[in-house]
């Protein structure tokens, strides 16, 4: 079964008309975008999104999104303005499955990278943003099993992003 993301914009909602506008938006924004690597569907039958980040990944001034999938892939769709997005591109990580992902510039080249947690292998995977809508799978970091959550921040104040990981 395909899993989709539904993009709904809430910015225009007013309290008194929230229900009606939400319904209208659900109709209007039924631009559901299939995610998950279709090549892995028959193999695992577990495609589906687990986590999403919003970021201008290709530096064109339009918001894009990346989704980590149950099938171990990361899907990236590039915004083309308004409600339109490109067909998602799928980047396998080699992980059996993924949980949380975040988008942030971890190598300081001003291009947001994608970091995601692989709970079964206990690894953190990096998709380095090479520009031009290209990502390169990096060497994973060893964490521990059931690593599900990741967060970023500059913990030691040296100007470089650090990574926090939560697992069992």
> Which residues lie near Ca ion (CB under 5 A)?
56, 58, 60, 62, 64, 105, 107, 109, 111, 113, 129, 154, 156, 158, 160, 162
Least distance to Ca ion from the beta carbon of 167, Å? 21
Question: How many residues are given for the chain?
Answer: 168
The DSSP string of 37-70 is -GGGHHHHS---EEEEEEE-TTSSSS-EEEEEET
Indicate the pairing of strand 89-92 with strand 73-77: antiparallel
Q: Which element (helix H / strand E) includes 27? A: helix 18-28
Q: Which is nearer to Ca ion, 37 or 64 (CB)?
A: 64
Least distance to Ca ion from the beta carbon of 60, Å? 4
Q: Which is nearer to Ca ion, 17 or 134 (CB)?
A: 134
d(Cα 27, Cα 119) in Å, to the nearest integer?
Answer: 36
Least distance to Ca ion from the beta carbon of 73, Å? 20
Least distance to Ca ion from the beta carbon of 149, Å? 19
Q: Which is nearer to Ca ion, 68 or 129 (CB)?
A: 129
Question: Which residues pair with residue 73 across a beta bridge?
Answer: 92
Q: Which is nearer to Ca ion, 60 or 87 (CB)?
A: 60
């Amino acid at each position: 079964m395909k899993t989709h993301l539904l993009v709904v914009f809430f910015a225009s909602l007013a309290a008194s008309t929230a229900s009606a506008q939400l319904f209208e938006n659900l109709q209007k924004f039924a631009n559901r975008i299939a995610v998950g690597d279709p090549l892995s569907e028959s193999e695992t039958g577990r495609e589906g999104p687990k986590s999403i980040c919003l970021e201008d990944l290709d530096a064109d001034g339009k918001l894009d999104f990346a989704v980590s999938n149950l099938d171990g892939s990361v899907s990236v769709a590039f915004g083309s303005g308004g409600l339109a997005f490109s067909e998602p591109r799928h980047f396998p990580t080699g992980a059996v499955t993924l949980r949380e992902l975040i988008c942030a510039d971890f190598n300081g080249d001003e291009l947001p990278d994608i970091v995601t947690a692989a709970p079964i292998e206990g690894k953190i995977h990096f998709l380095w943003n090479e520009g031009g809508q290209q990502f390169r799978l990096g060497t994973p970091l060893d964490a521990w099993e059931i690593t599900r959550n990741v967060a970023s921040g500059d913990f030691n104040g040296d100007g470089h992003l650090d990574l926090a990981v939560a697992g069992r």
